[in-house]
Chains A and B, each alone.
Chain A
Amino acid sequence: MTAFIVRRLTATLPVLLVVAVFVFLMLRLTPGDPAAILAGDAASAEQIERIRASLGLDRSILAQFGIWFGNLLAGDLGESFYFKMKVTELIGQRLEPTLALATLTIAIAVLVAVPLGVVAAWRFGGWFDRALMGFSVLGFSVPVFVLAYILIYVVSLKLGWLPVQGYHRLADGFWPFLAHLILPAITLSVIYIALIARVTRASVLEALGEDYIRTARAKGLSELRVVVRHALANAAVPIATVIGIGVALLIGGVVVTESVYAIPGLGRLTVDAVLARDFPTIQGVILFFSFAYVLINLIVDLSYVFFDPRIRY
Chain B
Amino acid sequence: MDVPSRESVAPAAVRPQVGAWERLRASWSVRLGGGVLAVLVLVALAAPWLGTVDPTLFDAASRDLRPMETGEITTLDGDVLQHKFWMGSDSFGRDIYSRVVYGTRVSLLVGTASALVALAFGILFGLCAGYLRRLDGPFMRVMDGLMAIPPILLAIALVAIWRASLGTVVVAIAIPEIPRVARLVRSLVLTIREEPYVEAAVALGTPTPKIMFGHILPNTIAPLLVQGTYICAAAILVEAILSFLGVGLPPDIPTWGNIMAEGRVQFIAYPHNVFFPGVFLAVTVLAVNMLGDGLRDTLDPRMARRL
Q: What residues of chain A have their CB less than 8 Å away from a CB belonging to chain B? A: 11-12, 14-19, 21-22, 26-27, 30, 137-138, 140-146, 149-150, 152-153, 157, 164, 198-199, 202, 206, 241, 244-245, 248-249, 251-252, 255-256, 259-260, 270-271, 274-275, 277, 279, 282, 285-286, 289-290, 293-294, 297-298, 301
Contact = CB atoms under 8 A, between A and B. Distances in A.
Given A145-B260, A256-B241, A256-B244, A286 B153 contact: yes
B170 interface: no
A146 B268 contact: no
9 contacts: A12-B1, A15-B144, A19-B145, A142-B286, A146-B260, A149-B271, A202-B307, A248-B150, A279-B160
A17 B150 contact: no
A141 B153 contact: no
Contacts of B127: none
Contacts of B282: 141-143, 146
B146 A143 contact: no
Interface stretch (B51-59, B80-88, B204-212, B273-281): B273-281
Interface residues of B, number: 50
Contacts of A152: 267
Nearest to A145: B244
A30 B161 contact: yes
B268 A157 contact: yes
A274 B154 CA distance: 12
Given A15-B141, A286-B154, A286-B157, A143 B240 contact: yes
Given A27-B161, A282-B160, A290 B149 contact: yes
Contact of A153 (B1, B146, B271): B271
Contacts, number: 151
Interface in B282-305: 282, 285-286, 289-290, 293
B143 to A, nearest CB: 9
B109 interface: no
B151 interface: yes
B153 A251 contact: yes
Contacts of B145: 14-19, 21-22
B1 A259 contact: no
Interface string B152-163: 111011111110
B19 interface: no
B175 to A, nearest CB: 10
B148 interface: yes
